[in-house]
Amino acid sequence: MAQPIELQPQAITVQELAAINRRQVPERYIREGVGALDASFPVLDVPTIDLQLLASSSSTSGDELDKLRSALSSYGCIQAINHGITSAFLDKLREVARQFFALPSEEKKKYSREIGSIEGYGNDMILSEDQILDWTDRLYLILRPEDKQTLKFWPENSESFRGILNDYSTKLHVILEVLLKAMARSLNLEENQFLQQYGDQATMQARFNLYPICPRPDQVLGVKPHADGSVITMLLQDKEVEGLQVLKDDQWFNVPIIPQALLINVGDQAEIMSNGIFKSPVHRVVTNSERERITVAVFCIPHPDQEIQPVEELINETHPRLYKKVKDYVSLYFQYYQQGRRPMEAALI
């Protein structure tokens, strides 16, 4: 597939659009058959997993491993508790995110992304004239490795922003190692099998998401349906405003908020490594006509040169190999994503 060329980025942010016109939405954001966030969508009973138990060698950790395998095979996501990050710290992170999006437009635009790149402040990369756009503004930053950070995109509105975000990435890296080891053990593999494929040159990318108030939540999505191109994604939800939905059994479910939990889902590359046992969930974000929503997602992604493939021990006569060996999956991912397609199509044998 040829590398797509981005057209001219949007001249106006969604936040600005929402402030200008509180009753109408431009045509480019309107989709058919969205349905608003209300009681018509059932609530997804996302399994809660205790990360301290996963990391321990106690007899109860076996039960938690079974829960983890079941959750990631059926739902593709978990509500992670006892993850070692205090509620006060998570609230600080939410606050610096809120402070950034509350800055004047001209101040935020100092951190605007460049054409053809996702890093920095902005919104959808526009690849075609008829592309339907998402009702969201984002700040995308590379957290790890630290020498890959592009500090010109890091806001200076808060003296603590950089320190908080670096602390957060360190804490998440610990969680990631616990989780990848536990995922391997839950499949009776040597515990470093997934970690080795993930590699020591992997990147951790943060995306701060603002979903402004939208007058037509029945016609507009905050984020189009997709599955993640990562190995693991960790989401800090808005403390009060729901919006995330997961597709299960051909039906959309609302994902509830547990304020002190991290919502963690496996991405496509974990599905490939597990030979399809763990499911990368298709999800979307719906909009809200009364309240804005702010979240922070962190994507854990192998280095582009790292080869990702099903673990040999998970391939046998009853479970044949489902996926090819892939490299630089995320580049492929973004090309497919804006077309509303799943890049997993290209990885299937």
Does 325 score more than 90 pLDDT? yes
Using the Cα atoms of residue 223, residue 25, residue 211 and residue 16 in order, give the sign of their dihedral.
positive
Q: CA–CA separation, 167 vs 291, rounded Å? A: 29
Q: Which amino acid is at 50?
A: D
Sketch the domain layout of the chain as residue ranges: 29-346
Q: CA–CA separation, 65 vs 55, rounded Å? A: 10
pLDDT range class, residue 37, cuts 50, 70, 90: low
Higher local confidence (pLDDT), 2 or 6: 6
Task: Specify the pLDDT at position 1.
Answer: 42
Q: Which amino acid is at 18?
A: A
Does 222 score more than 80 pLDDT? yes
What percentage of residues in the chain have a pLDDT greater than 90?
Answer: 78
In eight-state DSSP terms, residue 335 is: H
CATH for 29-346 is 2.60.120.330
What would the pLDDT profile of 139-185 be if each residue is shown by its tens digit?
A: 999 999 999 999 999 998 777 899 999 999 999 999 999 999 999 99
In eight-state DSSP terms, residue 257 is: P
* Winning range, highest mean pLDDT, from 22-26, 106-110, 116-120: 106-110
C-alpha distances in angstroms, 194 versus 8, 305, 333?
39, 16, 20
Does 337 score more than 70 pLDDT? no
Does 236 score more than 70 pLDDT? yes
Q: Left (φ > 0), alpha (ψ -120 to 50) or beta: where does 84 sit?
A: left
Task: Specify the pLDDT at position 212.
Answer: 97
What would the pLDDT profile of 270-307 be if each residue is shown by its tens digit?
A: 999 999 999 999 999 999 999 999 999 999 999 999 99
pLDDT range class, residue 226, cuts 50, 70, 90: very high
- Rounded to the nearest integer, the mean pLDDT of the chain is 91
Q: CA–CA separation, 279 vs 77, rounded Å? A: 9
Q: Once rounded to an integer, what is the mean pLDDT over residues 83-91?
A: 97
Q: CA–CA separation, 72 vs 256, rounded Å? A: 17
What percentage of residues in the chain have a pLDDT greater than 70?
Answer: 93
Task: Specify the pLDDT at position 2.
Answer: 46
Task: Specify the pLDDT at position 24.
Answer: 85
Task: Specify the pLDDT at position 59.
Answer: 57
Got the DSSP string for 307-345? -B---GGG--SSS---B--BSSHHHHHHHHHTTT--THH
Q: Which of 166, 186, 150 is nearest to 278 (CA)?
A: 186
Q: Work out the number of other CB atoms within 10 angstroms of the CB of residue 4.
A: 15
pLDDT range class, residue 187, cuts 50, 70, 90: very high
Q: Which of 115-119, 232-236, 262-266 has the lowest mean pLDDT?
A: 115-119
Does 35 score more than 70 pLDDT? no
pLDDT range class, residue 114, cuts 50, 70, 90: confident
